[in-house]
Structure formats: structure tokens, C-alpha cells
Structure 1
Amino acid sequence: MSEDIQRKLQTELDSFKKCSERSMISRIGLQKAIQTRQQLDGQLNENEIVKQELDLLPSDGKVYKSVGPVLIKTDLIEAKQNVSKRIDYITKEVKRVDDQIGTFEKKQDNHREALQKLQHQFQQAQVKAALHA
């Protein structure tokens, strides 16, 4: 019984190590995803502020768009639509990145839980073996 649990524990540990080695690349990916998430948050906040400012303008207000070193006059309705589209796009990207982060964390949690259960079973088997010895 104890040997069976020990084998399962070792198998799970080996699986966890392999996953950890593979996940070194994933961890780098996770770090990049977190950085991307932070950048997206900043962009989302900027665009929401721009949207609020555009909403304050009267319908005949003048809006200029920066294109390189030049300011180009833009229609207010078009500017509002562009900002709304950017907000939608950024929101979708935030969700995609959050899903990536969640998937990675879920995989790690599953391995941790399996290891904890097996370690607990192994410890119980050792205690039983010690009592019967």
C-alpha cells in the first residue's frame, strides 16, 4: 500500500517537474502576459478619459488627431467612434490575456492539489506502517 502511494507520489512529482520545466517558458509567457495586461489597463484608462473628454464637447466642438508631428482636424462623431472601437478592442484583449493567466494558474493549482493529496496519503500510510511495525 505504502509503496503504491509512494510510486503515485513520485509519478506526480515527475509530472510536476516536467510541467515546471516546460512552464519555465510558460512562466516567461505569464510574465509577458502580466506586463501586457498592465499596458492594456493603461491604454484602457487613457481611452476612457479621452471618451469622457469627447463627451464633454459640444456637437460643434473641434477635435484634432495627432498623426506623427501633425495635428489633423477630425469630425467629433468619427473621433468618438474611433475611441469606442479602441475601448472595445482593448477590453477584448484584456479578457484574452486574463484567460491566459487564469489557464496557467489553474494548471499549477491542479498539480499542487494532486501533490498535496498524495503527500497526505503517503504520510498516512507511513503512520499506519509505523503502528503495525
Structure 2
Amino acid sequence: MSEAQRKRLETETMNMQKMQKEYQTLVASRQQLDSQLQENELVDKEFKLMKDDARVYKLTGPVLLLQDKTEAATNVEKRLEFIRGEIKRVEGRLETLAKDQEKTSVEIFKLQMDIQGIKQ
């Protein structure tokens, strides 16, 4: 095994480990976003069931503050838009990362075969 091959294999293996770690972090982030999406969708449904003159309170620290229902509903809608956008962004990155991992995996396999003197 040449020194150049060994270094390249080491570099590719480290790249793969970094990608796997990022992938795991993104999966956890995606799960958290799903949870937030479900929670906010539930709140949005509740707002739609409420009468226009219903009282809405917002928990700020240890205090419940009266809030305008329309303003609260608008805030939830904006939050839903943001969460959906983040989900799309995370899914796009997961997709790209999966492709990159596949390419790197193939490259590592080829390097291992070259090092062992096996021809494909």
C-alpha cells in the first residue's frame, strides 16, 4: 500500500464519518421539526374552532398574558410556514448527503480494492 493511497483512504473515511454524523443530526432535526409542525397544526385547528371573541392567553415566562386572537392565529400561521420551509431545507440536505455518502462509499470500496491489489 502506498502512502498516497493510505492517506486518501484515511481522508475519504473521515469524510464519510463526518457525513454520517451530519446525517444523524439532520434526522434528529427533522424529527423535532415534525413534532413542532404537529403541535402548531393542532393549535391552528383550535384557533379555527374558536369564536372570534374568544380570549387567548400567551404564556410568557410564569405569566399568562391576554393576546388578540387574530394576532395569535397569524403568529401560528407564520410559524407553520417557517417550519414547513425548514423541513424542505432539511429534506433537501438529507437527500444531497445520502447521494454524497453513496459516492464516498463507492470511492472507499475502490480504494480498498486497489490497496489489496484486487482488480474490478
Shorter-chain TM-score range: 0.7 to 0.9
Query: Which structure has the larger Rg over C-alpha atoms?
Result: 1
Task: Say if 1:51 and 1:103 are closer, same or farther in 2 by CA, change over 3 A.
Answer: same
Deviations 1:58-106 (CA, angstroms, capped at 9, x unpaired) = 1111100111111111111001100001001111111111111111101
Task: Say if 1:104 and 1:15 are closer, same or farther in 2 by CA, change over 3 A.
Answer: farther
Measured after TM superposition, the shift of residue 21 of structure 1 is 1.4
TM-score for the superposition, normalised by structure 1: 0.70
- Aligned counterpart in structure 1 of residue 48 of structure 2, from 38, 55, 71: 55
- Aligned counterpart in structure 1 of residue 94 of structure 2, from 101, 104, 115: 101
Q: Which runs of 4+ in 1 moved over 3 A?
A: 14-18, 110-116
Task: Say if 1:111 and 1:24 are closer, same or farther in 2 by CA, change over 3 A.
Answer: closer
5+ residue gaps, structure 1: 1-10, 124-133
- Kindly report the root-mean-square deviation, in angstroms, between the aligned alpha carbons of the 2 structures: 2.3
- Counting aligned pairs with the same residue, the percent is 36
CA distance in 2: counterparts of 1:62 and 1:90, whole angstroms: 26
5+ residue gaps, structure 2: 114-118
| 1:84 aligned residue | 77
Alpha carbons 1:16, 1:111 under 8 Å: kept: no
**In proportion to residue count, which structure has more helix?**
1
- Say whether residues 1:33 and 2:26 are aligned partners: yes
- Say whether residues 1:45 and 2:42 are aligned partners: no
One-letter amino acid matched to 2:74:
Q
